[in-house]
Chains A and B, each alone.
Chain A
Amino acid sequence: MAQPHDLGTIIDAHPFFKGIDAELRALLVGCAANERFEPGDRLSREGRPADKFYLVRAGHVAVEAALPGRQPIILETVGENEVLGWSWVVEPFLATFDARAVTPVRAVSFDGTCLRAKMANDPALGYEVLKRFVPVITHRLATARLQLLDLYGPATAPELEEKVKKVKKAKRKAG
């Protein structure tokens, strides 16, 4: 099992906490643990308490949504050097989606309850953690919007109708 000083080194090496102040990092270490997951293991389940977030060190995790009558859809994958989970910091602290290990995964997990308490007591830590999570959240929002655009899909019916109208108009103009 990783010792706290090892966890500190791992946290320092992960891009998510790159350059963090040593004192703040020491507070993080107190809520951290080294974890391993096998393919198929669940890191979080939709609707259950989101009591952890993870710095992924190796492997791939699929963030999934299961809808009745359909195969579970993978919304995104999170891999090495990325961070998984932000529901732990947003009330009511419940997981929005399932997270499943696709490959063997090594990660550092952080206990959300422990970290929230420390953040409430130490605004500098709270600011530092949120400052790092906000870009992750905005990035995920932006990429979700891009996925919604369905950039590679066929033109939608309204787009095709619009195109046909334009061509007809141009032909009428040309006589």
Chain B
Amino acid sequence: MSAEPKDPMLPRPFRIEKVRRELSDTFTVEMVPEAGGEFAFAPGQFNMLYVFGVGEVPISISGDPADRSRLIHTTRAVGAVTNAMDRLKVGDVLGVRGPYGTPWPVEAAFGRDLVFVAGGVGLAPLRPAITMAIANRDRFSRVVVLYGARTPDDILFKKELERWRSRFDMDVSVTVDRATQRWGGNVGVVTNLVAKRGFEPARTTAFVCGPEGMMRYSAIALEKAGVARGAIYLSMERNMKCGCGLCGHCQWGPHFACKDGPVFRYDRIADLLTVREL
């Protein structure tokens, strides 16, 4: 059963069941609908989360799409709303509108190599797609996760990355931009990992998520490695307000990031990425 309201602007109350500190400024909340029922979403979609009395923000869903019993969001506390959200506790209630937006086309990549390129907290919106890829592992050729973070202390979902890396049917590489001698792993930008490959470019679909600059250079690196533009997908962030294509707040060139995105095919947006002030 899905408890979706008819009015897309009306938030549904969700009660927080778990709060997990991921990094010094990043946290995960697990919620269930107050009215009961399930919450269905596709990997890559987002919700508008409403901290009552403070405001509303778009946050990608980071949970397992196969588990409809709970809604999981991971975010970084960077503004008034996410900082207020960071102060919420188990039992508090958040307003939820969604799910909105275009998903990662996981099923369209069946039979191909699937490469995830994530940067920083951008691993969170990719997590549902990675989970879905693992659940359908036999339907893909290679599954590769390339993850870049600022420092070793900024690596998100560390335990999960370790678990994925321990699988024999998945390649996981992590790099950090800066480190001291205590770190024994890769140092360098995530595009270096793309250059090292470990996938067959001609039959690769790539999902990229992270800060916009990181996505831009990762897409360039993927293309340079031989991956077709039409097989690269990026999750774009813009200042969303309604979340469902009504207000035009998130207009980005000819697109509305909330409705036509957040997941865009690279060949449709490559030119927009280099337009200043857009």
Contact = CB atoms under 8 A, between A and B. Distances in A.
A152 B211 contact: yes
Nearest to A148: B177
A77 B120 CA distance: 19
A147 interface: yes
Given A152-B154, A153-B150, A147 B189 contact: yes
A150 B211 CA distance: 10
B106 interface: no
A175 interface: no
Contacts of B2: none
Interface of B: 25, 78, 119-121, 148-150, 154, 175, 177-181, 183-189, 191-192, 195-196, 210-211, 213-214, 217
A150 to B, nearest CB: 7
A151 B210 contact: yes
A147 B178 contact: yes
5 contacts: A60-B184, A74-B187, A77-B185, A143-B189, A152-B177
Contacts of A77: 175, 185-188
Nearest to B76: A154
Interface of A: 60, 62, 64, 71-77, 79, 81, 102-103, 139, 143, 146-147, 149-155
A74 B179 contact: yes
Contacts of B78: 154-155
Nearest to B149: A152
Contacts of B196: 79, 81
Nearest to B214: A151
B187 A150 contact: no
A104 to B, nearest CB: 12
A153 B154 CA distance: 10
A152 B186 contact: no
Given A143-B189, A152-B154, A102 B184 contact: yes
Nearest to A76: B188
Nearest to B217: A146
A89 B25 CA distance: 45
Can you list the 5 inter-chain pairs with the closest CB atoms, starting with the nearest? A152-B120, A152-B150, A71-B180, A76-B188, A74-B187
Given A71-B180, A103-B184, A152-B154, 20 more contacts: A72-B181, A73-B180, A74-B180, A75-B178, A76-B188, A77-B187, A79-B186, A79-B196, A143-B189, A146-B191, A147-B177, A149-B213, A151-B189, A151-B211, A152-B119, A152-B121, A152-B148, A152-B149, A152-B177, A154-B25
A62 B181 contact: yes
A62 B185 CA distance: 9
Given A62-B187, A147-B189, A154-B78, A74 B214 contact: no
Given A74-B178, A143-B189, A151 B183 contact: no
B178 A151 contact: no
Contact of B181 (A71, A79, A147): A71
A97 B87 CA distance: 44
